[in-house]
Amino acid sequence: FFFLYFPETHGISFRIQISVKDQLDKDILLKLLFHLPVSYPSTLPDISVNSDQLTRAQCMDVKEKLLEQAKKHLSEPMVHDLILWVQQHLKDVIKQSATVCNEKTTLSKGTEDSIWMLLLHLDHMRAKAKYVKTVEKWASNLRLTGRLMFMGKIILILLQGDRGSIKEYLILQKTSKVDVDSSGKKCKEKMMRVLCETEVQSQHKRFQTFEVKEYSTPEELQKEFETAGLTTLFSESVPPLLK
């Protein structure tokens, strides 16, 4: 496994890849991302599960079952136990999940190779300079491209990259102390909304870089989306924020 991120104040994030047999004795490659907060193990880790051979629903089921197991080990180191558990019980989880899964085939593939897109809305940034720097650093580390967009009070983060990196970004955004509260103490992002998370289609243009941009009018912001072939995304996501 390898470490992704290791600042003293934010805990540790690392990814582990393991091969597990399914009920047909086929090898399933599981990619597990663990984020251990500073208060671990008295706080549960954040876990992200990805696999090319499993559907999104199955990955979510595995994650839920792992979190259930984690609760049984609260206040003791648990990552090793969780990995052993998933190696022994993956077959059962997949079997249960398969019967209830009828997702669209495009989503079921859930391939890591395809490029994904994420649009986030942030309510505010008190420590703006530090926050912006952090977002730029994460995007760079995870090889994500896109825009951090400011228009009036609206703050949007639009990201493109491989699906695993998008998931890892979301974990960092939710679990790291990225801002300060009204008393100046470091705090996590609690007011973030995911407006869209989807596979990039052929009509969408790829961003080549990650840039921070300010727009003075909604029309300027709309133009940025239109240039990227994202007119529909703009019309579905942004007008409600302008009200």
6 domain-assigned: no
Does the predicted TM-score (pTM) go above 0.75? no
Q: What is the mean pLDDT of residues 52-77?
A: 89
Euclidean distance between CA atoms 187 and 177, whole angstroms:
5
pLDDT at 110: 43
Render 58-80 in DSSP notation, one character per residue: HHHHHHHHHHHHHHHTTTS--HH
Percent of the chain topping pLDDT 70: 88
**DSSP 8-state secondary structure symbol assigned to residue 205:** P
Same domain, 130 and 233: yes
Q: What is the CATH number of the domain that holds 89?
A: 3.10.110.10
Q: Which pLDDT value is given to residue 183? A: 84
Q: Strand, coil or helix: what is 28?
A: strand
> pLDDT (tens digit, 9 = 90+) per residue, 103-147?
333 343 444 457 899 999 998 898 899 999 999 999 998 999 999
Let me know if residue 2 belongs to a domain: no
* pLDDT score for 97: 60
Shared domain check, 127 and 87? no
Q: What is the mean pLDDT of the chain?
A: 84
* Structure confidence at residue 156 (pLDDT): 96
Give the pair of three-digit tokens for residue 202. 């052929």
Last residue of a domain, one of 72, 99, 126: 99
230 contacts: CB under 8 Å, gap ≥ 6: 158, 204
Q: Answer yes or no: is pLDDT of 160 > 70.
A: yes
How many domains are there within the chain?
2
* Token pair recorded at residue 50: 């990805």
Q: Identify the pLDDT of residue 106.
A: 39
122 and 56 co-located in one domain: no
Q: What's the CA gap between 122 and 225, in Å, rounded?
A: 18
* Domain region containing 90: 12-99
Per-residue pLDDT at 146: 96
The pLDDT tens digits of the residues spanning 172-218 come to: 888 888 887 888 888 888 878 898 888 888 777 889 999 999 999 99
Written as one letter, the residue type at 141 is N
**For residue 11, what pLDDT band results from cuts at 50, 70 and 90?**
confident
What phi, psi does 138 have (nearest 5°)? -60, -45
- Is there a domain that residue 5 lies in? no
Please report the pLDDT score of residue 140 as a whole number.
Answer: 92
We report the CATH number of the domain holding residue 143 as: 3.30.70.100
Last residue of a domain, one of 74, 99, 124: 99
Q: Is 214 helix (H, G, I), strand (E, B) or coil?
A: strand
Higher pLDDT, 147 or 37: 147
Q: Which of 99, 133, 150 is the last residue of a domain?
A: 99
Instruction: At 66, give phi and psi (nearest 5°).
Output: -65, -40
Domain shared by 68 and 174, yes or no: no
What mean pLDDT comes out for the span 162-175?
Answer: 89
